Amino acid sequence: MKDTISNAGKFQNADITADGSARARVAFSDPQTIWFNTGTLCNITCVNCYIDSSPTNDALEYIGVDDVRGYLEELDGLAWSVREIAFTGGEPFMNPQMCAMAREALSRGYEVLILTNAMLPMMRPNVQADLAALCAEFGDKLTLRVSLDHWSQAAHDEMRGAGSYERTLKGMDWLRGAGVKMAVAARSLWHETDAETRAGFAKMFAAHSYNIDAQDPAITVIFPEMDETVEVPEITTACWGILDKTPESVMCASSRMVVKRKGCAPSVVACTLLPYDLEFDLGPTLEGASRDVALNHPHCAKFCVLGGASCSA
């Protein structure tokens, strides 16, 4: 349900905003990343998880290697410039076919990005063996972006539960030893400046000998918080000039995500942040999902346009 107390009356019409202005739209102008949601099941429950992942939420089913292969075969026939296939969840390594799906994409020459909390699902011996083999064969074409909400244990555990930080660092230590390329996804809710947060991560990375650049926003990604109860402005066509931004800078200009809702065939959605909202479901094929997208959700404003964030590198 879009409407909240703070945003009452807004984000109701795909074409016009609450004050009658023309709503901004974004064309799929630069296809770079195709995402696959591997399923909403996760080994932990985090505060403010945008997709409500948990050990019991299976609203998005496990997607399989045959599903991924079908979309990659469709992609072969499209004149798109996609360079990256990315996987998110839930926790992707809960899905027993995660490494097989990564191999399918890597073997076709794509870069692969996997988002993970680097905890127990990733640390199973069979997964470690598969990841080590993928790293040995494909090298830096494979990146694991680890969810590390903050550089400090106390703040990270506040979001993910006591002991989470220690278990995640254990996973990162293993990835470092295996030579797997790492990135980090953090949050911006701790009243620190961007520079302060990055300095904290730089110190922490150095202490653990992690080869992660804390100053590169594509490697250490600091995401704005997404809270639909917080009032945000709607984005009109006039906002591009006011904000000195372009539609091409917004995530839905360059990416799409495949989801598999429970009991349904896979479909393509406009945004990784909106897997449940049917307004942003663009149909079963990549080609059909290439139409433009109306910025008709609070996340479009706060996360993408005003926050300037992107789930891709």
pLDDT digits (tens, 9 = 90+) for 49-87: 888 999 999 999 999 999 999 999 999 999 999 999 999
| Residue range(s) defining the domain that contains residue 163 | 25-306
Q: Is residue 3 part of a domain?
A: no
The number of residues in the chain equals 313
Going by C-beta distance under 8 Å and a sequence separation of 6 or more, which residues neighbour residue 276? 51, 59
| Region label for 23, one of left (φ > 0), alpha (ψ between -120 and 50) or beta (otherwise) | beta
Position 3 confidence tier, pLDDT thresholds 50, 70, 90: very low
Q: Is residue 13 part of a domain?
A: no
Per-residue model confidence as pLDDT tens digits over 197-243: 999 999 999 999 999 999 999 999 998 776 656 788 899 999 999 98
Would you state the pLDDT for residue 5?
42
How many folded domains does the chain comprise? 1
Q: What is the mean pLDDT of residues 161-189?
A: 96
Q: Is the pTM of this model over 0.75?
A: yes
Q: What is the mean pLDDT of residues 135-161?
A: 96
More confident call, 5 vs 284: 284
Q: Is residue 16 part of a domain?
A: no
| Structure token digits, residue 278 | 């049917």
Q: Is residue 195 part of a domain?
A: yes
| C-alpha–C-alpha distance, residues 19 and 236, integer Å | 10
Q: Is residue 84 part of a domain?
A: yes
Q: What is the mean pLDDT of residues 174-186?
A: 98
Going by C-beta distance under 8 Å and a sequence separation of 6 or more, which residues neighbour residue 312? 32, 33, 84, 86, 113, 251, 254, 255
| Structure token digits, residue 134 | 């993928």
Q: Is residue 15 part of a domain?
A: no
| C-alpha–C-alpha distance, residues 91 and 167, integer Å | 14
More confident call, 211 vs 189: 211
Q: Are 213 and 179 in contact (CB under 8 A)?
A: no
Q: For residue 101, which phi and psi values (nearest 5 degrees)?
A: -65, -40
Would you state the pLDDT for residue 173?
98
**163 closest CA partner among 172, 173, 153:** 153
Average pLDDT, the chain: 92
Per-residue model confidence as pLDDT tens digits over 243-261: 889 999 999 999 999 999 9
Position 6 confidence tier, pLDDT thresholds 50, 70, 90: low
On the 0-12 / 13-18 / 19+ scale of CB atoms within 10 A, 177 is exposed
Going by C-beta distance under 8 Å and a sequence separation of 6 or more, which residues neighbour residue 290? 28, 31
Per-residue model confidence as pLDDT tens digits over 275-313: 999 999 999 999 999 999 999 998 888 778 876 545 555
Cα radius of gyration (the chain)? 19
CATH number at 148 reads: 3.20.20.70
Would you state the pLDDT for residue 4?
43
Q: Is residue 7 part of a domain?
A: no
Would you state the pLDDT for residue 228?
59
Q: Is residue 243 part of a domain?
A: yes
